[in-house]
Homo-oligomer: A and B are copies of this chain.
Amino acid sequence: MEENRLKDLYLDRQICFLLYAASRQATKVYGPLLKELDITYPQYLVLLVLWEHKEMKVSEIGNLLMLESNTLTPLLKRLEQRGFVFRLRSNTDERCVTISLTENGEKLKSKACTIPGKIADAFVDDSVSIPELQTFQKTLAKVVKVLHEKNTMLADSEL
């Protein structure tokens, strides 16, 4: 009985470890590609948001990436120092900071557009078919949603 529970502790059957490992391995696949642009994976994610939306508040970027200002502010300052983005405190609401792309930041988009294809190639393998990956992605999206809701619910209940 108790022994059954202890078995659950074993590493190999834990979905959370697999997510943790998958995330790090996936990020590592980006390594050589992002190195050519001299940016990191989280920086790439922020740029993806800006390439799509042109201009966003820090909190809006945070909502999309599920990151908060304690992570984003230093990251955005680094992107600003590199000359990829502007950080401008809003006139209408001085609490907010609007992030927008510089010309160089905009230019990076054309260099980055070959990346998704190359990444997709890394996932395709004899052992994992495309339809399997599509099903996988759907469940993954639901898992993210469920966990995120659980976490934000928990955080709210503490106020």
Contacts and interface: CB of A to CB of B under 8 A. Distances in A.
Interface of A: 2, 5-6, 8-11, 14-30, 32, 41, 45, 48-49, 51-52, 64-66, 109, 112-117, 119, 122-123, 125, 127-128, 132-133, 135-137, 139-148, 150-151, 154
B25 A23 contact: no
Contacts of A125: 142, 146
Counting every copy of the chain, the complex holds 2
A15 B139 CA distance: 11
Contacts of A23: 19-20, 22-24
Contacts of A116: 5, 8-9, 14
A20 to B, nearest CB: 5
